[in-house]
Amino acid sequence: MYRRPMTSHVAGSGSILVTGASSGIGAALALAYAVPGAVLELGGRDASRLEAVAVQCRNRGATVRTAAIDVADRTTMADWIADADLSHPLALVIANAGISAGTGDGGESEAQARRIFAVNVDGVLNTVHPAIACMRPRRRGQIALMSSLAAFRGFPGAPAYCASKAAVRVLGEAMRGELRADGIGVSVICPGYVESPMTAVNRFPMPMLMSAERAAAIICRGLARDRGRIAFPWPVYAAVRLLAGLPIAWTDPLLRRLPRKGG
């Protein structure tokens, strides 16, 4: 029988694991969940930035463990997640880590495209599958996958990024139905432009750019309500859904004129 997944994440209910927690949305989510009694497992590639986030979380009363880790490393990720669950059973796992790059002026190289997929797709698989293995025997838990509004239509300026986020979106939506019987909730997060090192390099207007703290607040509310898709801001979401539904012959000429993201 299905039991509603744990979504309140109050102190004592289990630990919260966040990848890509050293900056941007990941860091903001870590701080949002850093309340007295909370147990956080934070991963990121930049050890110094990750530790700075951990210090802020500890100052808010949370217990924090960090791991300087590359989500593309399948074995290391599996070991880290298993160890985290053994220490404090995982209640919420947020597969947030991701990278972005575009075509710039020289096109998208094969190496760049493969690295984006290794982090954005393989990194998500390396996070969620070990987490599922931990949660399934308990028949409870929640997993969140970080996609993007770019997942709804491929943009010529960032092919691999759009494609990788589309894969994550569809994966998460399918997993939500698959894991329901196991008592595991799955949510897909599709943000628009959010202030972060990833967007700081953009040299073009970003509609409705919001702070990472604001984005984290929206995400936390959506996860607490067990929403299947957390997409924001809604005007940009509506625009990309409309764009995705129009004939390609209509949209291609428009999209080719959009500014390119740097490579």
Instruction: Indicate which residues carry an active-site annotation.
Output: 161
- Look up tokens 């990788």; give the residue: 164
Report DSSP state, residue 6: P
- Look up tokens 């989500």; give the residue: 71
Q: Which residue, 134, 55, 123, 58, is CA-closest to 92?
A: 134
Q: Which residue, 138, 149, 147, is CA-closest to 88?
A: 138
* Other residues' Cβ atoms within 10 Å of the Cβ of residue 55: 11
Cβ burial of 235 (10 Å; 0-12, 13-18, 19+) is exposed
